[in-house]
Amino acid sequence: MADYKAPLRDMRFVLNEVFEGAQRWAHLPGLAETVDEETATAVLEEAGKVTAKAIAPLSRAADEEGCHWDNGAVRTPAGFIEAYNTYAQGGWVGVGGEPALGGMGMPKAVSAQVEEMVNAASLAFGLYPMLTAGACLSINAHASDALKQQYLPNMYAGVWAGSMCLTEPHAGTDLGIIRTKADPQADGSYKVSGTKIFITGGEHDLTENIIHLVLAKLPDAPAGAKGISLFLVPKFLVDQEGRLGARNAVTCGSIEHKMGIQASATCVMNFDEATGFLVGEPHKGLAAMFTMMNYERLGVGIQGLASAERSYQNAVEYARDRLQSRAPGGPEYPDKIADPIIVHPDVRRMLLTMKALVEGGRAFSTYVAMQLDSVKYSEDNQTRKRSEDLVALLTPVAKAFLTDLGLECAVHGQQVLGGHGYIREWGQEQLVRDVRITQIYEGTNGIQALDLMGRKVVGSGGAFYELFSDEIRQFLASADSALNEFTAPLGASLDQLDDLTAWVLDRAKSNPDEIGAASVEYLHAFGYVAYAYMWAMMARTALAKQGQEDFYAAKLGTARFYFARLLPRVHSLVASVKAGSESLYLLDAEQF
């Protein structure tokens, strides 16, 4: 596998040149005194060093070794403890955390780039700090001040880790039917009992304590999702001064044997009257958890992006070095026995597909991250509400589209390597195995598509969609004629998506099956149009600076490839959706 190099130049391009992050942060209270362009650049450069040098070299060996379970204890692969300590001591676990409690205080638009780097270095390693950061978000937003002071400093510092305990053996997406119970105690604590499965980082040896956020039901809980509460359950109890006490009644029953992310401990967790503390209000646990979920779902999308970036780096290095056959127009390297395979049209198609999807995805994930920053930091109610609605609309797209394309890019990279892409020695097959889970956890991509189509588009009567569509229309109206080669196809594809959205809204009035039937293809059509918007904005910036640096010429070439070869995928997706739901119900269940 090629040595990982953080794509710092492209990250700076997106943050500073396309979205003008520093100017945005300067107008957001809470960020104006914390971050500017120079600070963000320094943060990204340091993160690039630690991920490339301390984490990436462990990836393949850690995958081979995996995690080890022994009588409830979990040992991570060789080198992980040292790498985690290096990562934690640099403050990276708390990169987006509250400064008053020890966090670095970076905006999500910056921490998203750090997430990409650590996950590209090793997706399995990146899951440990990712879950901790997510748990911190919910604690900071919903827990009492006492719990915040007691737990967050050590979590931001990486001394303690966090986990998110939702899924049960009988209850996946349908959390309303969970059976885990929480019984109130006289001292204000609760006794939590139940079993959770698929718990990432539920047990490991990287930190001295693990803080579990557990969904459970109180004795008087109403039925369904409205009866869920959220509890903080530490592995070791903690006194008021933050000192560790007795081991709590929470144990790891086993770890899963998985297709990929072997170095990430995926645990079965048993809570046997474990002491826990209520986070937020009773029966409002899902709301408290969803504070984290929007960030986590974007984070999972970034995992797909990171895997695609690593695949692209591997494939480019291999394609430049591998000699095989001659270019169709004759030898391009006559002094060699054959030309490098990068001269061949099909190899270029795969490389450019990866490059266009990675760079479009980086811009899109940064755009969503900036909406999250507006929600958190803006003091203008109208701006904050608009960003909240955009986050609601775009989060399922970010999670599902980025991870679907992450797998596509991993497979393209495998194909470029040919036979070497299929064997472990080169590391490419690991990317294919690892990225596959991103389409499943944090809500499968089918569920994400149903959320987009059913709740966000149909559920809002198209209002959320119109926010995004109107923004693109405003961009098109303000664009200079020099940008026409990009704005014309963007406008045409947006017309198609507008029409498709209206079609589904109309059909759903008389046939509810149309929502589910349309959802996956609709999300993909939406994603390609959103990427076209990102590429048009990037092309505008690159056109204004072409001739200054070869980087901008490459950016324009990649933009032209996207509009010529990838955006047309929208045509088939629209046709598929408009075929309707009828063909899905031509067979009875027993005919399958």
CA distances from 144 to 139, 148, 401 (A): 8, 6, 36
Sign of CA dihedral 438, 125, 395, 292: positive
The owner of tokens 């690159």 is: 542
Cβ(195)–Cβ(168) below 8 Å: yes
Residue partners of 590: CB distance under 8 A and separation at least 6: none
Residues 352 and 561 sit within 8 Å (Cβ to Cβ): yes
Pairwise CA distance, residues 524 & 449, whole Å? 9
d(Cα 289, Cα 226) in Å, to the nearest integer?
Answer: 13
Question: CA-CA-CA-CA torsion for 397, 400, 402, 406, nearest 10 degrees?
Answer: -170
Q: Which of 328, 320, 347 is nearest to 414 (CA)?
A: 347
In angstroms, rounded to a whole number, what is the distance separating the alpha carbons of residues 499 and 522? Answer: 12
Tokens standing for residue 518: 């349309």
CA distances, 430 to each of 232, 307, 409, 423 (Å): 34, 10, 13, 9
74 vs 201: CA distance, rounded Å: 10
C-beta of residue 424 within 8 angstroms of C-beta of residue 262: no
Residue spans of beta strands (DSSP E) within 24-80:
68-70, 73-75
Instruction: Considering the candidates 203, 408, 442, 521, report the single residue annotated as catalytic.
Output: 442
User: What is the Cα 307 distance to its own chain's centre?
Assistant: 11
The residue type of 169 is P
In the chain, the amino acid numbered 372 is L
Q: What pairs with residue 266 in β-bridges?
A: 200
DSSP-derived 3-state class of residue 257? coil
Gap between the Cα atoms of 68 and 517, Å rounded: 42
Distance between first and last Cα of the chain: 42
CB 271 within 8 A of CB 235: no
Answer yes or no: are the C-beta atoms of 182 and 266 closer than 8 Å: no
In the block, tokens 């797209």 appear at: 397
- Measure the CA–CA gap between 323 and 411, rounded to whole angstroms: 21
Parallel, antiparallel, or unpaired for β 181-184 and 228-234? Answer: unpaired
CA atoms in the 13 A half-sphere facing the CB of 433? 22
45 is a catalytic site residue: no
CA–CA dist 449, 300 (Å, integer)? 15
Write the CA distances from 24 to 12, 32, 236, integer angstroms: 15, 9, 42
**Cα–Cα distance, 420 to 200 (Å, whole number):** 31
Pairing, β 228-234 against β 209-217: antiparallel
Q: Which residues are catalytic?
A: 442
